[in-house]
A = this chain, B = another copy of it.
Amino acid sequence: MIATIQESPLFPMVNPESVAFYGASNNFAAMGTNMLSSLLALGYPGRVYPIHPSEEEVRGLKAYKNVAELPEAPDLAVIVLPTRLVIQTMEECGKKGVKTAIVISAGFREKGEEGAAEEEKLLAVARKYGMRFLGPNCIGVTNLHKKLNTTFMRAEGRPGGVGFASQSGSFVTQMFDYLARFGSGFSTAFSVGNAADTDLVDVIEYLGACPDTKVIGMYVEGIRRGRDFVRVCREVSLKKPIVALYVGGSKTGSRAGLSHTGTLAGPDKLYDGIFRQAGVLRAKSVDELFDICRAFCTLPLPEGKAVAIQTHSGGPGTVAADACGRAGLSVPEFSAETSEALSPYVPHTGSCANPVDITYSKNPEDFFGSIPRVLLSDPGISMLLVYYLVPNSMVETPFKRLGLSGPEAEEAARGWLDKQADAISALVRESNKPVAGFTFRGIMEQFPQALMERGIPVFPGPERAVAALAGMVRYRKYRERLVKGLE
């Protein structure tokens, strides 16, 4: 196991100071051009050398006829060429001393036997020169902390803590916007494609050492190096959680995966066993995968499985309580001290039991201050789950009644909501217990965004919030088991 990313053979690929780019031109419809454009759009600060047989300049950069002409041996070559040109290009890169490559081009193992033979040749060339490469049939790497994005989609949002190892490029590119909407983002995401050389195991090892990565997500169609996978994941899991979406466990999923990346999948039970041994949390859906990752990015680990639920509506509180029970979390009754401490803040129509249901606020600021403070101080409570669904317009109304104009009331409401978000995020830090929110309104509204900016994950619906908290509890247990196993 490596201790730092600098020790990883993937380091130059993920943190390159210079990149040779094959397949970009001044034709905007070409995939390679799109990929180079993404790299430039993100503001990649390193040196970029487009390689093109005829153009003098590509996207405003001086172009080179071939890699031999370059003034240096770049850290990385990105290859977006017709399949038949890939092996020869790799050979030329090797001769020049290029350290790593990303082979975007498809048409290898996923296309059957002939393609598999070509892939073997590609691997042999890379080995000959001591090069490591990603792909083929992938969309490359995104390291948002280093402004590196080799994919054809523009990166959106801020760099975040989610390291990602994916057997599908889509789950890199198509999650930029998704994660950004949740105020989260990738640290480094890899699309391994056919994984001829660099596979999930290599990537997990890298991400395990990556200081920007708080949690590792995986999209898995099938695992080839099972033993290495378990070994590396066990070690990494001690440091940070790994969460996987495995889609090869059904007949329909395994057949689709085979035609997608040529990966042979195995039955669900086998993979459940592998994941359990490896300390990897299995997610049930794409949303659950990223929901659990988001929770780990910003929240402290829960000490136990006891959840306090706080709501202003009975139904959503009851659904949350039911979801907790189904997910193996408890919703314990509060101590007499806690119930008593809550009573000044809860009107007689509400409930000081768990879920705490205020029905309406006597003093609206209690909801994000006094009540959560009481709940988080209860030593029998490990986590807090808060339901909040008040549109900005309802917060504005009282300000308007005080005589404020429309825009003034809007601003006052924004300020008030920001203050509530500050209050509850301060409580997470003080108590060192996780707090999550859920809503049925759009997560793009100001209040969920304000909470997520401050590290309080907000989920669209109670079941998703509960699944994320339950994921954290599962990880804590896994890790305790792994620690014991190593003793």
Contacts and interface: CB of A to CB of B under 8 A. Distances in A.
A316 B168 CA distance: 8
Interface centre among A107, A248, A256, A354 (most CB of B within 10 A): A256
A335 B221 CA distance: 26
Contact of A319 (B245, B314, B389, B397): B245
Contact of A441 (B178, B247, B351): B178
A355 B253 CA distance: 10
Contact of A252 (B167, B175, B247, B331): B331
A354 to B, nearest CB: 8
Given A177-B441, A441-B178, A260 B461 contact: no
Nearest to A246: B322
A369 interface: no
A346 interface: no
Given A250-B326, A326-B250, A461-B287, A321 B256 contact: yes
Contacts of A219: 315
Contacts of A248: 322
Contacts of A171: 315-316
Chain A: interface residue count, which band?
A: 35 or more
A8 interface: no
A315 B260 contact: yes
Given A314-B261, A442-B444, A252 B322 contact: yes
Interface of A: 28, 31, 106-107, 166-171, 174-175, 177-178, 181, 219, 221, 245, 247-253, 255-257, 259-261, 284-287, 309, 313-326, 329-331, 349, 351, 353-355, 357, 360, 389, 391, 397, 401, 440-442, 444, 460-463
10 closest A-B pairs (Cβ-Cβ)? A168-B315, A253-B322, A250-B325, A252-B325, A170-B313, A260-B314, A256-B321, A247-B322, A170-B315, A256-B318
Given A256-B317, A287-B460, 7 more contacts: A170-B314, A170-B389, A247-B318, A253-B318, A259-B314, A260-B314, A260-B315
